[in-house]
Amino acid sequence: MSDLTRLSAAELASLVAKREVSAVEVATAHLDRIDAVDERVHAFLHVDREGALAAAAAVDRGEITGPLAGVPIAVKDVVTTKGVPTTAASKILEGWKPPYDATIVERLKAAGMPILGKTNMDEFAMGSSTEYSAYGPTNNPWDLGRIPGGSGGGSAAALAAYEAPLAIGTDTGGSIRQPGAVTGTVGAKPTYGGTSRYGLIAFSSSLDTPGPCGRTVEDTALLHAVIAGHDPRDSTSIPQPVPDVVAAARLGATGDLTGVKLGLVKEFAGDGSEPGVVAAFRESLEALVKLGAEVVEVSCPNFQYALPAYYLIAPSECSSNLARFDGVRYGLRSGDDGSRSLEEVMSLTRDEGFGPEVKRRIILGTYALSSGYYDAYYGQAQKVRTLITRDFQAAFEQVDVLVSPTTPFVAFPFGSRTGDPYQMYLADLFTIPTNLYGGPAISVPCGLSEGLPVGFQIMAPTMADDRMYRVAAALESAVGTFTPPAL
């Protein structure tokens, strides 16, 4: 048998279903690969060999079947896994073992997907490089001296390093798509409410969206179908059937986009991006036109205000959500030696438990929500959010999907953007509007710039996730997939 770690999830599932290879062999191959390369990549914060092998054995005993049965998966460490350490890459949750599974984890288990372990990320999903992980950064398999994106850099790097065929990410401002773009992998942010947030450690509840990451569009769609769908335990979950993303991906793979209208977002089409990114994006757009798509330039004038609005809304919600980490119920508790008051213990715990970026967000958000400033900051940002939503709605009256590069720049070297928060925030310039609107978007690898991957973003109307998969698969059929140098 050829190297199992090089196969797609769809291929692995088919081999397991036909019993040409066992689920235990598949899991073992990936666990061995993690043992061999993760010292250099550091995609994982925790590997659950025993749990993964037990889940694989259940598939081999015929207890679970299904489209991804026996395909192992890596899960971002911001998603709770019962009895398996979940830290959100923060010191404040070091060693915490959740008493329950997130809904999406329950669905992975029910689908017979062995969970290999938990992946590295920026602390509490705040960042674009994994440099804000309390446990050290993840290295990009394309160039170990560069960032793998963030916050879900571990999930994307695990795919690019062939440590896992599929992974779970979460996207609040771009944390699935931007890591996908800079590692040459696929990442999809579903419609907000299309995937359950139950069991997600909350960062910004009106934006947080769990979603699938893969190396191919079809694999990503297969995973999307497993995790999506209504969950009564999440009050913002949409009680509607999920569009058939797998059929849409297969339709797109036939390479025919006749009649599909792509809206080129004028404001994101050139200025502000590296020339190599613009070149790869433009070439891909031409490839889509050859497949029959029509390109219409559309203006979304309020998209330029998305970044500042996001950096008021997300920190505001984060300051409220992270109030629960106070050393009382779980995680770190500092200085509780009888000499300090409760308030002093809470304060010391938060001071020692949170890293500098998380503290920056809490301070920013607390300020934006404080009385006297609320209307000027949070209130204004919410109004901008409405304007951005209207831009999307107006655009979707003319076109089927919107397209742009996923990120303005390729993977950057470690340390090159940590000195200036704004430079780091710019990584999500093109991904954030979608989160404010709530629609789905996907990043697909579309080319290389100076040897590093470039991502192509496709944004669709809410609950039309299938549309973006169709275009994504068509693009993949035209440009192919991208393999990093051997590790």
CB of 87 to ligand GLN, least distance (A): 15
User: For ligand GLN, which is the closer residue by CB, 5 or 86?
Assistant: 86
Residues 259-298 vs ligand GLN: string with x where CB under 6 A?
A: ----------------------------------------
- 166 or 441: whose CB is closer to ligand GLN? 441
Displacement of CA 260 from its chain's centroid (Å): 26
Tell the smallest beta-carbon distance from residue 42 to ligand GLN (Å): 19
Q: Is 97 among the residues known to form the active site?
A: no
Q: Please, are residues 431 and 441 in contact by the beta-carbon 8 Å criterion? A: yes
Binding part of the chain for ligand GLN, among 125-133, 134-142, 300-308, 445-453 by CB under 6 A, reads: 125-133
CB of 468 to ligand GLN, least distance (A): 18
Task: Confirm or reject binding of residue 123 to ligand GLN (CB under 6 A).
Answer: no
The single residue among 171, 231, 400, 466 that binds ligand GLN, judged by CB under 6 A, is: 171
Under the binding rule (CB under 6 A), the answer on residue 148 touching ligand GLN is no
Sole binder of ligand GLN in the list 174, 263, 327, 455 (CB under 6 A): 174
Active-site residue, from 76, 109, 118, 189: 76
Does 125 sit near ligand GLN (CB under 6 A)? yes
CB atoms within 10 A of CB 36: 14
Among residues 175, 273, 316, 334, the one that binds ligand GLN under rule CB under 6 A: 175
Cβ neighbours, 10 Å, residue 44? 23
129 is catalytic: no
| In the complex, minimum distance from the CB of residue 31 to ligand GLN, in angstroms, rounded to a whole number | 27
Closer residue to ligand GLN (CB): 174 or 365: 174
> Whole-number minimum distance, CB 16 to ligand GLN, in Å?
32
Residue 128, interface with ligand GLN (CB under 6 A)? Answer: yes
Least Å from the CB of residue 362 to ligand GLN:
13
Q: Which residue among 129, 155, 175, 196 is the active-site one?
A: 175
Write the CA distances from 173 to 16, 293, 366, 436, 472, integer angstroms. 36, 28, 19, 8, 20
Told to check if 193 binds ligand GLN by CB under 6 A, we report no
203 vs 469, beta carbon nearer ligand GLN:
203
Would you say 396 or 430 has its CB closer to ligand GLN?
430
Segment interacting with ligand GLN (CB under 6 A) among 134-142, 173-181, 455-463, 466-474? 173-181
Among 4-12, 123-131, 260-268, 343-351, the segment contacting ligand GLN (CB under 6 A) = 123-131
What is the SS3 string spanning the chain? Answer: CCCHHHCCHHHHHHHHHCCCCCHHHHHHHHHHHHHHHHHHHCCEEEECHHHHHHHHHHHHCCCCCCCCCCCCEEEECCECECCECCCCCCHHHCCCCCCCCCHHHHHHHHCCCCEEEEECCCHHHCCCCCCCCCCCCCCECCECCECCCCCCHHHHHHHHCCCCCEEEEEECCCCCHHHHHHHCCEEEECCCCCECCCCECCCCCCCCEEEEEECCHHHHHHHHHHHECCCCCCCCCCCCCCCCHHHHHHHHCCCCCCCCEEEEEHHHCCCCCCHHHHHHHHHHHHHHHHCCCEEEEECCHHHHHHHHHHHHHHHHHHHHHHHHCCCCCCCCCCCCCCCCCHHHHHHHHHHHHCCHHHHHHHHHHHHHHCCCCCHHHHHHHHHHHHHHHHHHHHHHHHCCEEEEECCCCCCCECCCCCCCHHHHHHHHCCCHHHHHHCCCEEEEEEEEECCEEEEEEEECCCCCHHHHHHHHHHHHHHHCCCCCCCC
Is 314 near ligand GLN (CB under 6 A)?
yes
Residue 151 annotated among the catalytic residues of the structure: yes
Comparing CB distances to ligand GLN, the nearer of 131 and 466 is: 131
How far apart are CB 136 and ligand GLN at their closest, in Å? 18
Q: Of 8, 90, 128, 151, which is the active-site residue? A: 151
To ligand GLN, the closest distance from the beta carbon of 128 in angstroms equals: 4
Q: Which residue type does 136 have?
A: G
Site for ligand GLN in 424-483 (CB under 6 A): 428
Residues that bind ligand GLN (CB under 6 A): 125-128, 151, 171-175, 203, 314, 428
Residue positions annotated with a catalytic role: 76, 151, 175
